[in-house]
Amino acid sequence: MARSPPPTRAPETVTSPPSGPPFGPSRWPFRWVAFVLAVTAFGAGVPTPLYALYQQQYHFSSLVLTAIFAAYAAGVLATMLLIGPLADFVGRKPVLYAGMALTAASGVVFLLASGVLLLALARVVSGLAVGATTSTSNAAMSSLEPRRDQHHVARVSVAANFGGVASGVLLSGFLVADAPQPTHLVFGVLILASLVGMVAVASTPETGVRSAAEGRPRLQRPTVPSGLRGPFWVAAGSLAACYAIYGYFGAMAPTFLRHDLGVPNPTSAALVATMFGLAAIVQLWLGQVRDRRALLIGLPTILGATLLLTVAWPIPSYPLFVVGDAALGIGIGFAYMGSVTLIDRVSPATSRGDILSAFFTVGYVSLAIPTIGVGAVASAFGLVVAASSFGVVLAVAVALLYRATRATPTPPGGEGRPRGADGQARPPG
């Protein structure tokens, strides 16, 4: 599922004119690219309510379930580090076309899936689509935003990611309950949405102007300048917490709700979608709350929500789960935006790609490894023990991260996104 996933690397050698809206005042090209981003996130969310059905149908363990879920991260990292840089050489539109084609392909593989291996392959292909699309769409949106407001770009990008995941989870959950062949129909919707996404790509201008840079596409090297490591680890740690929650919650919550609380599929899907939906809605409320200030709101909210859920799993308590679920969505909305805008603020233009590559590598590794770890504990000791143990570990990590955030001063604006005294993003150049 996904992605939550998020804006990633802005290509370094594809540039746009440095000032003024380069493609006219219309917002439609910007909106079309945001739609393309939302489609890939939608595809990442669609399988979430189906995992419990797949687990019953193919009789695999919680460890296998979480491994299938985490296979998504491998696909994202592969395209983020390898395929994403192709936009520097072939342009952004071809990479966005490829992202839509991969999204449709993931739907086809899910349709054909008859066992664990094909389910894992479908998740890898879905991750490939997300990695290719998010890295390039964020750069395209930066060029297409008429006012060159980079904070608005970040807000829309994050909202498209979380909103897309929430929509996929919600639609899939309701189709599972009421539609014939639920594991097939929803992927037909995904394939159709991907085709519309290709039309959307065709309706937008090519935003990348190939530079005179020579050489072949290179592997994006995850490095961080030594002077930025303090704020980097505050931001990357917050991102890691968000992604770890996304992995364990997305993989385990539907099964817990159905088996332990007896919640029917539409309701359980709605509860999972609530977390992602609130994270998206929060982006509309953030306004000037960003960077370190957003983290100082989001991290304590995540901590409180995690403690509530840690109690809700073993009781089990439906009201506590609902409250914790909603609080977790709000906390992730603030923490995710805070981490992304903090990195955006401190990253110099000359090393932005490398820093963002390292930043999101931390995030996707944090999605995969804790999720598989929870699955291993669940296979050995049961889902409730695994979820509660993870909650305790996460609560301690978030508390330490909050303390580190308070001890880290708000950094000045970096070269990449200079800011004025009013805190508004200024166009680069």
pTM of this structure: 0.81
Instruction: Give per-residue pLDDT as tens, 311-368.
Output: 988 888 889 999 999 999 999 999 998 888 888 778 776 677 678 778 888 888 888 8
Residue 390 burial (C-beta neighbours within 10 Å; 0-12, 13-18, 19+): buried
pLDDT at 125: 95
Does 68 score more than 50 pLDDT?
Answer: yes
Cβ atoms of 65 and 51 within 8 Å: the answer is: yes
Looking at the fold, whether 233 and 202 belong to one and the same domain comes out as no
Does 211 score more than 80 pLDDT?
Answer: no
Range of the domain at 164: 28-206
In-domain check, residue 213: no
In-domain check, residue 351: yes
In-domain check, residue 367: yes
Cβ atoms of 329 and 272 within 8 Å: the answer is: no
Residue 55 pLDDT grade (very low, low, confident, very high; cuts 50, 70, 90)? confident
Looking at the fold, whether 306 and 165 belong to one and the same domain comes out as no
Q: What is the CATH number of the domain that holds 110?
A: 1.20.1250.20
Does 123 score more than 50 pLDDT?
Answer: yes
Does 218 score more than 70 pLDDT?
Answer: no
Looking at the fold, whether 247 and 193 belong to one and the same domain comes out as no
Looking at the fold, whether 358 and 407 belong to one and the same domain comes out as yes
In-domain check, residue 331: yes
Looking at the fold, whether 199 and 236 belong to one and the same domain comes out as no
Number of domains making up the chain: 2
Looking at the fold, whether 254 and 394 belong to one and the same domain comes out as yes
In-domain check, residue 159: yes
In-domain check, residue 16: no
Residue 143 pLDDT grade (very low, low, confident, very high; cuts 50, 70, 90)? confident
Looking at the fold, whether 182 and 51 belong to one and the same domain comes out as yes
Looking at the fold, whether 165 and 275 belong to one and the same domain comes out as no
Lowest mean pLDDT among 196-205, 305-314, 405-414: 405-414
Looking at the fold, whether 50 and 178 belong to one and the same domain comes out as yes
Looking at the fold, whether 373 and 254 belong to one and the same domain comes out as yes
Residue 328 has φ and ψ, to the nearest 5°, of -65, -40
Looking at the fold, whether 233 and 151 belong to one and the same domain comes out as no
Does 155 score more than 90 pLDDT?
Answer: no
Looking at the fold, whether 400 and 316 belong to one and the same domain comes out as yes
In-domain check, residue 248: yes
Q: Could you tell me the end-to-end alpha-carbon distance of the chain, in angstroms, rounded to an integer?
A: 38
